[in-house]
Structure 1
Amino acid sequence: MSYHADDAKAIEIRPDWLQSYIDSPEKQRQLYKRTLIIVVLSQIFGGAGLAAGITVGALIAQDMLGTDQFAGVPTALFTLGSAAAAYIVGRLSQRFGRRSGLAAGFLTGGIGAIGVVIAAITNNILLLFASLLIYGAGSATNLQARYAGTDMASSKQRATAISTAMVSTTFGAVAGPNMVEVMGEFATSIGIPALAGPFILAATAFILAGLVLLVFLRPDPLVVANVIARVKSKEEVNLSIETPRDTQEINNHGVVLGTVLMIVTQLVMVGIMTMTPVHMRHHGHGLSEVGMVIGIHVAFMFLPSFFTGILVDKIGRSAMAIAAGITLLAAGVIAAFASADSMAGIITALALLGLGWNFGLICGTALVVDSTLPTTRAKTQGTVDVLIALAGATGGVLSGMVAAHSSYAVLSLAGGFLSLLLIPVVVWSRNK
């Protein structure tokens, strides 16, 4: 079923199956639970696909180009690709539903991962860069899938729904980096460069995630949520219930605050994370150690999500936004001053970096969901995720340049102190 959120006939003409969801709160609750299960399954695969790029993307470029200065370019490219994909997936989801938008994004990301493997085999740097752009679609979709769980959630369930989707990403995202060496050995055994091995896993994982959504995400939660919202809106008009004059202003304010929060956390996280594998390799750490550090980092990006969601719902958005800034600052300081030979110091810094990102993303996402209506939500979410991806691309590009012209320690400190911007932003929002 093709669905357009602006189609006024959607309220008057609808099939019996859709009417049954409108009439039954119990069926709505069942759809919410079913949607979460499907999203969880797709996120397990999606997380594995996501991990390849952040673990070995910079190392592939370093080997091909023979310099560290552009080692951040792969991260920048797949985050730029994810920016374009976020925009497209958001609009596809708004028009046709989550199923079509998310499935298309994951399948496209799988094609990009295949391109990276071919580029590594042929040592073609231009194909590598083009493929990383396409691979970014999987990264964007993996992030946007967190919204699908909120479509049928009540206002008190939203952060928890977001966190459930993100927790499930952990299983694949942690397994991915820790399979770097195994996949590298497998790739070598079939005549493919070792660093391309994780992208073989990424291609398989993204394609499986897309197929899960395409086959099982029925009925589409966003389609149902949109029509229910329109029915309620029509009923309120008929009952002459007035909407507060400042509703739109409040909505816009919440979207801005949530967006700024996610942009800063993404910029800081990507900047430090991108150069950590390169920093480790310079100090004699092997691929297995790099994979372990990134695996722990990714675990802290996603695994605490369930508890984070509960905290965001219970103690409030502002408190968790401040916690995000403080945690990222701690990560930057530890990364800067920890001995490069100390695995414990690097692991602690990257764990805190992931945790701070987790706080910021779940809190910011909840603010955006709180501040949008179902009839325009997916489109707005797509636009917000474009800005987040662009922040990641900026962090990826600048990280290599800053580290090459100064040091990893300077990069880490800069990221940590940048995160302190979140505190005045939250204070400003409270005074509005």
Structure 2
Amino acid sequence: MRTSSGSGTGAEITTTPDLRAIQRRTVRVLILGQVLGGIGIGSTLSIGAVLAANIAGSEALSGAAATLSTLGAAASAIPLARLAQRLGRRPALATGVVLSASGSLVTIGAAALSSFPLLLLGFALLGVGTAVNLQSRFAATDIASPEHRGRDLSLVVWFTTIGAVLGPNLFGPGEEIAEAFNMPPLTGSFVIAVGAQIAAAAVYLVGLRPDPYLLSRDAPSDAQGDAAPGRVRGRGALIFAIGSIAASHAVMVSVMAMTPVHLVNHGVTLTIVGLTISLHIAGMFALSPLFGWLSDRLGRVGTILIGQALFAVSLAVVAFGEEDPVLVTVGLILLGLGWSASTVSGSALVADLATGAARARIQGRTDLIMNLAGAVGGAAAGFVLAWVGYSGLAWAAGVLVLLIVAGATTMRTARPLPA
């Protein structure tokens, strides 16, 4: 039996069996928060590019939705990580989703005023919700045993599927809400997002007691692995892990963000666009437990390479099948699967390499770099789409896939990476 001296954990005495029970409860709470947060993000994700293009009056600026959303996620990643370091995951996650809910309200106001600058602010605040979802996956590893770290992380990621797939299909109900309250077109989904995000904040505030991060500070060594507390090991491997996460995110964001614009310009209805994005999001999350299991069993780097292979097939499908909405949808599903394999395994590798007080700091930096890469990808995608078209965008994204494969090969040749 071990006495815990950390304040704010809600428990005076903690034993190893207690940690396992708390971990199971923590994962369940994070799952519920991910479902609600997924509804909030999914109900606004695919309509954002269309709304931006309508208000700006330029297709080239349609990438502003993804760009500002990812910039918002990037800007909030380290502040949320620092808040978690000081006060725990509970206030950090709750604060983030409340800020995201405010972004939905700002976006509605921007549409009513036809104000593009205000719309950008709304998208940036909405991006904080993405940062919360990303931090949630790391929260699942705070007190997880090393052999189950990939599994627990991937389970939390998987349950985002429910909300994220349901969200884009709420366009119809959202537009009914907008019509009933005489709101601007395309804004009803943001009302749904507000409700889901406020509910998620309540779940985190009530459910994450005791706080997993605060407990992890005094966790026994078998729950933290063999690395020294508060240390980072394998800096080369860590750079590769963060780089692979960031580049994979840039590939996904750049192609996904431009797909609604591409499809709408080819006469596809918003309902079909919503279905396409839903299936893409299902690809991002639905098989994450499988990739978590592969990551634990076959190794982190091998699973990252599986993700890059899926990316390669995806980009080829959308490039050659750009005129066929069915092939575009298939390509988007494969794009989501590639992102899932790469992100789940890369995140597990980051969690392997940083422990104790260093963990939240490194995780915050990982999410910052990941979202900055997505912001650059989203910003460039609109101009690339206008310049060389949808297929050209896919081939350009393929360059990043080659860089990740080259990095993995170099690291494996230079020195073995941690499993």
Q: Look up the match of 2:241.
A: 258
Q: Please say which of residues 411-420 and 25-34 is displaced more in the overlay.
A: 411-420
Tell me the residue number matched to 2:319: 336
2:242·2:366 contact (CA, 8 Å) conserved in 1? yes
Structure 2 matches for 1:357-368, cutoff 5 A? 357-368=339-350
Mark the CA change 1:12 to 1:281 in structure 2 (over 3 Å): closer, same or farther: closer
Q: Do 1:296 and 1:351's aligned partners in 2 also have CA atoms closer than 8 Å?
A: yes
Contact 1:329 1:417 in 2 (8 A): no
Partner of 1:64: 55
For 2:403 and 2:243, the matched residues in 1 are separated by 10
Aligned CA distance change for structure 1 residues 189 and 379 (closer, same or farther; 3 Å): same
Match of 1:369 in 2: 351
Quick one: which amino acid aligns to residue 414 of structure 1?
A: A
Q: 1:151 aligns with which of 142, 146, 157?
A: 142
Other-structure match for 1:416:
398
CA RMSD of aligned residues (A): 2.3
Q: Give the counterpart of 1:182 among 173, 176, 179.
A: 173
The residue type equivalent to 2:299 in the other structure is: G
User: Structure 2 CA distance, aligned partners of 1:155 and 1:294?
Assistant: 34
Amino acid at match of 1:20: I
**Which residue identity is paired with 1:193?**
P
Q: How does 1:208-223 map to 2 (within 5 A)?
A: 208-223=199-214
| Preserved CA contact (<8 Å) 1:296 1:350 | yes
* 1:20 equivalenced with 2:2 (yes/no): no
What per-residue deviation string (whole Å, max 9, x for no partner) do you get for residues 293-327 of structure 1?
00000011011111111111111112111111111
Normalized against structure 2, the TM-score is what?
0.93
Q: What is residue 347 of structure 1 aligned with on the other side?
A: 329
Of the three residues 381, 386, 392, the one matched with 2:374 is 392
Match runs of 1:66-105 below 5 Å: 66-105=57-96
Distance 1:258 1:404 in 2: 32
What is the CA distance between 1:178 and its match in structure 2? Answer: 1.1
AA in 2 matched with 1:255: L
Cα gap change, 1:230/1:326 in structure 2, threshold over 3 Å: closer, same or farther?
A: closer
The one-letter code of the counterpart of 2:329 is I
Letter in 2 for 1:358: S
What residue identity is the alignment partner of 2:402?
L
CA contact (8 A) 2:63 2:382 kept: yes
**Are 1:18 and 1:224, in contact at CA under 8 Å, matched by a contact in 2?**
no
Q: One-letter code of the match for 2:155? A: T
Please report how far the alpha carbon of residue 250 of structure 1 lies from its aligned counterpart in structure 2 after TM superposition.
3.4
The answer to whether the aligner puts 1:325 opposite 2:308 as a matched pair is yes
Alignment of 1:356 with 2:338, yes or no, is yes
Within 2, Cα distance between the matches of 1:141 and 1:285? Answer: 32
Q: Select which of 275, 278, 292 maps to 1:309.
A: 292
Identify which of 408, 411, 418 aligns with 1:429: 411
2:238 corresponds to which letter in structure 1?
Answer: V
Larger radius of gyration: 1
Offset at residue 82 of structure 1 (A) = 0.7
| Equivalences for residues 239-318 of structure 1 within 5 A | 250-318=233-301
Aligned-pair CA distance for 1:374: 2.1
Residue 49 of structure 1, CA deviation: 1.1
Return 47-56 or 282-291, whichever deviates more: 47-56
TM-score by length of 1: 0.91
Give, as a single letter, the amino acid of the residue that structure 1 aligns with 2:54: D
- What displacement does 1:231 show? 12
Secondary structure of 1:150's match? coil
In the alignment, which residue of structure 1 is the partner of 2:110? 119
User: Aligned partners of 2:199, 2:299: CA distance in 1, in Å?
Assistant: 36
Deviation at 1:53, TM superposition (A): 3.7
Give the whole-Å Cα distance in 2 for the aligned partners of 1:371 and 1:386: 18
**Gaps spanning 5+ residues in structure 1: where?**
1-9, 234-240
Given that residues 312 and 320 in structure 1 are in contact (C-alpha distance below 8 angstroms), is that contact kept between their aligned partners in structure 2?
A: yes
User: Among the aligned pairs, what percent are the same residue?
Assistant: 33
SS at match of 1:250: coil
- Name stretches of at least 5 consecutive residues in structure 2 with no aligned partner: none
Residue 183 of structure 1 contacts residue 194 of structure 1 at CA under 8 Å; is this kept in 2?
Answer: no
Cα distance change of structure 1 residues 282 and 28 upon mapping to structure 2, 3 Å threshold: same
| Offset at residue 249 of structure 1 (A) | 7.0
Deviation at 1:84, TM superposition (A): 1.0
Amino acid at match of 1:388: M
Going from structure 1 to structure 2, the CA distance change for 1:151 and 1:232 (only over 3 Å counts) comes to closer
CA deviation profile, 1:85-130 (whole Å, cap 9, x unmatched): 1111111001110001111111111111111111112212221111
CA distance in 1, matches of 2:52, 2:205: 33
- Shift in Å, 1:400: 0.2
**Equivalent residues of 1:94, 1:376 under 8 A apart:** no
Inter-partner Cα distance in structure 2 for 1:58 and 1:177: 13
**Does the aligned pair in 2 maintain the 1:173–1:298 contact within 8 Å?**
yes
Contact 1:308 1:362 in 2 (8 A): yes
Displacement after TM superposition at 1:420 (Å)? 1.9
Matched with 1:6 is none
Find 1:404's aligned residue among 372, 386, 393. Answer: 386
Moved more, 408-417 or 388-397: 408-417
Aligned pair in 2 of structure 1 residues 79, 17: CA closer, same or farther (>3 Å)? closer
The residue number in structure 2 matching 1:54 is 45
CA contact (8 A) 2:168 2:275 kept: yes
Return the alpha-carbon distance in structure 2 between the equivalents of residues 242 and 287 of structure 1.
50
Change in 2 beyond 3 A, CA 1:191/1:227:
same
* 8 Å Cα contact 1:184/1:193 also seen in 2: no
